[in-house]
Structure 1
């Protein structure tokens, strides 16, 4: 008789439509993440004019969303381990709606900053839980591309923010409309999540076997009932299954357990090195990079739009590749290409200075870098940790992981201009290229391959690495 994991793997593609619909609804959280992150770029000039902001004041308004994201990411996972994935995502939708309304009607810079912090809370929660929820409902064979929908929607949200910025530019109170429009997908996100089932794996962990069975049937459709029963058997027999397995206290302390350590090193290390590679500085400061390479202001803006388009177009390529080639091979290859692209950019900036003849070569290297990021790092950065962590602490572990991501994002963005002044463009991007090379080594040595495996199988395989007892062994 075939094992449950084998049954699941064979039946993973039997009825993909229901789970794809579930993943698309959940990924609206990613769209809100992208929109609320990107909309400030077009709104800032009018906000500065309306409120008379200084450079420091503008920086506070822009960066406040990252502070909220750090807090939201840190808190959402623990709550989801206690109360479930769906209720916390519904609450995140409410937070997005509240933040959009606060920003749209903010009478002062201080209240706009507070609204941005609120929006950040929603972003942090969504960045944490949307990948986890999708991973826990997806069949192993297609889990990578389904979780990758989150990144696609983030990218789409950024593009929609740019479109809204352009479309509303001459409308009275334009920036207020830009922020307020985010309430529409936020309401849709909340309403959609109310209609979706709870994660069957979280239900199995709490001992709610019948509810877990019903949830599996909803996300697997009307395919082979035996496959659902086989998958349920694996859930209820997993290393953390049973109502008594969910830790009631000390969830953060549980992350120090040896059985969690290999996954935590891989997941957190990926976030730190991924952000330290300079990916967001290239996106945030692309016009400045292009101007420093010798492009005029209008050409720099045009080239930046091109970077955004490349980011959007290449993301689906990575989504299709991640389940075919595997997470570690894709990420390792991408990290090498990223390192070479940044090294080429550094060499171009060193050789060309302000010579415009080198400017478009610099653009080419930036586009190559973004294409590599979009097809590899950005696709797997949420997939890998959502798959690696043991079920009993998955939400809390994702909290630490995404807190690391947002903190590193904040620090790298904060220090980029200082590095640029101190080291110049060549020195700065040589440093980032070295980090990309380190990411390639880290991927090969520390991140296990998870392609095609059930989450329970991944948990069983990682436990012996840490010297932890196998499932069923005395504890």
Structure 2
């Protein structure tokens, strides 16, 4: 199944003139800003463990095994949260699901902050993972369904920008809190409690945001869908888009798309799920989250002092944010597949060099800064190409009535891959060394590049409805 050749683009609603009034553009920007606080929380809660873990290890008496459990329990929760959040958003709506996730973010962050034992910490991190997984699915789908076709890439990837901004915020606040708190007991609790603040902002903000017009159409609430479209489109564009959306909603209703039974009985949907699973795995087996979760320890092993490693790790956060800005700019100008392949090639070379430098350079400043330079290079390709394209394509490729569910199932694969890597990475480094561990990621990168070349379709420039028609024809 080689889908490397593009098919002709279907007529798009984007062809309708869109003389968008300024207040409509402002409304769309506000919706995007509020919804992406879910991405900010995603980023902060996954990144904060990076700096908190060394301090937490002493207070809670963590071993390498329990250290892996504390880190990966969030990822296991995220896997469950992804599929549950996807199903919930299809059944109850994107907006209502995001409101529920805001509550889970708050409760999970507070539970981690107050955790007296390792067991409580693992449970609280699991709850936090439910929210992270749900947000990883629901927010991109919500943004994709609200966005005009020609702006979908830029607006959906704003969520990726907020994710890496959240990680940078975590790295920076960790370093500041560590400097202020010094070696005082419980300094890691202050690092974790910061995450309750954006959770409150997300909940109050979503109270006044509209529901996804495409979800409303999938529920046959066409008048409500038109009302929402008029908030974020010109009048002419809204009416034309509703016509296209409602026609597809009726077709999906007749085919009863939307659950496991339909995946088993509909060949083209099964093939799309295979592609979605592959995209999800490709994003994770670069080893990106070994940098996000264990970056401080990697830099310490490379030769930095503990405090210097915390500060140096901020560079990883800064380059992630800057690279995501570049990625958003590129998505408006280049196709998705070439961008994904370029990112995969870049990360694979960077990982190879991390392994080589760790193996051949003597311990000291030279090796430390060489490894730091390669982690920064790795993140430039990962966050500037692979991650934004991954979340964007997963929000685009599934049919309307099962978009949340389909992306949720693909995200389960993503988070379980993340979970396995996060769980075994400390043991791998301990057992075979950091160089051999990164060489394993290099081999995985070669397989990933091959998969993208052979199986991943192009999605740029289509409305969600015309893209669905294309993929239905291609995979049938």
TM-score (norm 1): 0.89
Distance 2:193 2:124 in 1: 11
Distance 1:31 1:141, change over 3 A: same
Matched ranges for 1:169-180 at <5 A = 169=178, 170=180, 174-180=187-193
**CA 1:242–1:332 in 2, change beyond 3 Å: closer, same or farther?**
closer
What's the secondary structure of 1:260's corresponding residue? helix
1:214 matched to which residue of 2?
227
Structure 2 SS opposite 1:272: helix
Unaligned runs of 5+ in 1: 468-475
Q: Which residue of the other structure, out of 354, 363, 372, is the alignment partner of 2:381? A: 372
Q: Deviations over 1:105-130 (max 9, x none)?
A: 44444333322221111111101111
Structure 1 equivalent of residue 263 of structure 2: 255
Q: Which has the higher contact order (CA 8 A, sep 6+)?
A: 2
Give the SS at the match of 1:64: helix
How does 1:174-193 map onto structure 2 within 5 Å? Answer: 174-193=187-206
Instruction: Measure, in 2, the Cα distance between the counterparts of 1:453 and 1:403.
Output: 26
8 Å contact 1:264–1:397 — kept in the other structure? yes
Identify the range of structure 1 (8-17 vs 81-90) with the bigger mean alpha-carbon deviation. 8-17
Aligned mates of 1:338, 1:415 — CA distance in 2: 20
Given the superposition, is the C-alpha separation of residues 408 and 236 from structure 1 closer, same or farther in structure 2, using an over 3 Å criterion? same
1:53 & 1:349 partners in 2: Cα distance?
26
Q: 1:252 to 1:379 in 2, by over 3 A?
A: same
Deviation at 1:316, TM superposition (A): 0.9
Equivalent pair of 1:4/1:231 in contact (CA under 8 Å): no
- Pairwise mapping of residues 5-404 of structure 1 onto structure 2 (< 5 A)? 5-11=11-17, 14=20, 16-169=25-178, 170=180, 174-220=187-233, 223=234, 225-238=235-248, 241=251, 247=257, 251-256=259-264, 257-295=266-304, 297=306, 299-352=308-361, 354=363, 357-404=366-413
2-structure distance, mates of 1:53, 1:300: 20
C-alpha deviation, 1:30, in angstroms:
0.6
- Counterpart in 1 of 2:4? none
Q: Distance in 2 between matches of 1:387 and 1:18?
A: 22
Q: Give aligned pairs, total.
A: 460
What SS does the corresponding residue of 2:267 show, helix, strand or coil? coil
Q: TM-score with structure 2 length normalisation?
A: 0.89
Change (3 A) 1:425 1:45: closer
Pairwise CA distance, 1:324: 1.2
Give the Cα separation in 2 of the matches to 1:342 and 1:240: 48
Computed over aligned residues only, the root mean square deviation of the Cα atoms, in angstroms, reads: 2.6
Q: State the 1:465 CA deviation.
A: 1.9
Q: Contact between 1:236 and 1:242, CA under 8 Å: does it hold in 2?
A: no
SS of 1:285's equivalent? helix
Using the TM superposition, name which of 399-408 and 238-247 deviates more.
238-247
**1:449 maps to what in 2?**
458
- Residue deviations 1:386-442 (CA, integer Å, cap 9, x gap): 000011211111111111111000111222234334544443323312322322222
Distance in 2 between residues matched to 1:240 and 1:434, nearest whole Å = 45
Matched, 1:439 2:444: no
Tell me what 2:3 maps to: none
Q: For each residue in 1:6-44, what CA deviation from the matched residue of structure 2 results, as whole angstroms up to 9, or x when unmatched?
A: 442454683533222211111100111111222233333
